[in-house]
Amino acid sequence: MAVTDHEPTDDEVVRLLADWLPDRRWFPVKGADARLTAVGGLTLADPRGEARVRILLVRAEAPGVDTVLQVPVTMRPDRTAADDGPTPGGARPGQAGPAWIGSVGSPPMHVRDGVGDPAFLRAWMSAAEGPRPPVDAEHARVLTGEQSNTSVIIPASDPAGAPDEGPAASAESRPPGAGDATHGAAILKVFRALAPGDNPDVDVPRALARGGWVHVPRPLGWLEAQWPEDGSLVHGHLAVLSEFVDGAQDGFELACAMAERGESFADLARDLGSVVAGMHAALASALPTTDPGRADERAAATADAVRARYRWASGRSSRSTPTASRRSPPAPPG
């Protein structure tokens, strides 16, 4: 597991981030000035050597907020700006765009948000643990609108599919509305707000897939790191690469849409209940709690993760007062 270090350029990049971060949807400080400090970082090697790749861990502090954020960046010399083609998520390295952060150093280096940059994706795949299928980093697509993570859909470089890492879910084995596993494509979820301890988004699907349960996207790669926290080192997951399931629908949204059309959700509800029951059985088998000490440890880790997410959510200012709709749950009596 990699341990973060500190480089002189980290502080320069953090100063640039003071102007760039407030416009990110996943930035937890809204309506107030945040104090930003570099906690540390990891340098990843781009196999093609096209850019310097650095994962920065930045502490954001404000009233009610104290969160460590992950900001992967790529840095390219100024002289390459005229020759580089467009990269996913923004304009050319030397131009303004959603991924453009600024320039640091002398001679200047162009700094971009690395998520979606092929150089970062190649470097991440090289550094991650797990089977790591061959993917086409040049044609990755960043998803927009996420609140606490950033996800990137990465097509397979080999359309034949992902490596055989346990049974995959076929179209027949998935319930209606669950979508289909796109041949070899993957989705990289970069955790922006970090919390110490194992991330359930990594460990739970990994355990279920290892046990042969087919109703979960298979984790294909993951990256962990250690960073300083309150005078000691803590560890946590930075990101996870999973099998990409295309066409999946949110169950609640699907049920509402069917209700609006006057269609019955009963059969799908039965299928969903069957899958949930199977998941509980698979969880009991994959993650047994017969060891009280281990059970307490997992419970504490889960509680810590929930607290960290609550702190992140409570530190955000309200965007607007929600209005009632037919989809809103009824108010409790009294």
Residue 167 pLDDT: 37
Q: How many CB atoms lie within 10 A of CB 112?
A: 27
The pLDDT confidence band at residue 183, using thresholds 50, 70 and 90, is: low
Among residues 320, 254, 274, 311, the alpha carbon closest in space to that of 29 is found at: 311
Residue 231 lies in a domain: yes
Indicate the DSSP class of residue 21: G
Q: For 86-90, 123-127, 256-260, which range has the lowest pLDDT when averaged over its residues?
A: 86-90
Angstrom distance (rounded) from CA 142 to CA 222:
18
Residue 177 pLDDT: 43
Among residues 259, 278, 261, the alpha carbon closest in space to that of 270 is found at: 278
Residue 296 lies in a domain: no
Q: Per the structure, how many domains does the chain have?
A: 1
Residue 278 lies in a domain: no
Which residues form the domain of 55? 2-252
Residue 188 lies in a domain: yes
Residue 6 lies in a domain: yes
Among residues 211, 202, 242, 220, the alpha carbon closest in space to that of 131 is found at: 220
Residue 329 lies in a domain: no
Angstrom distance (rounded) from CA 167 to CA 216:
11
Residue 190 pLDDT: 97
Residue 12 lies in a domain: yes
Kindly tell me if the per-residue pLDDT of 6 is higher than 60: yes
Q: Which residues contact 272 (CB under 8 A, 6 or more apart)?
A: 175, 251
- Over the chain, what is the mean pLDDT? 81
* Segment 306-320 mean pLDDT: 65
Kindly tell me if the per-residue pLDDT of 216 is higher than 50: yes
Q: How many CB atoms lie within 10 A of CB 59?
A: 20
Residue 131 lies in a domain: yes
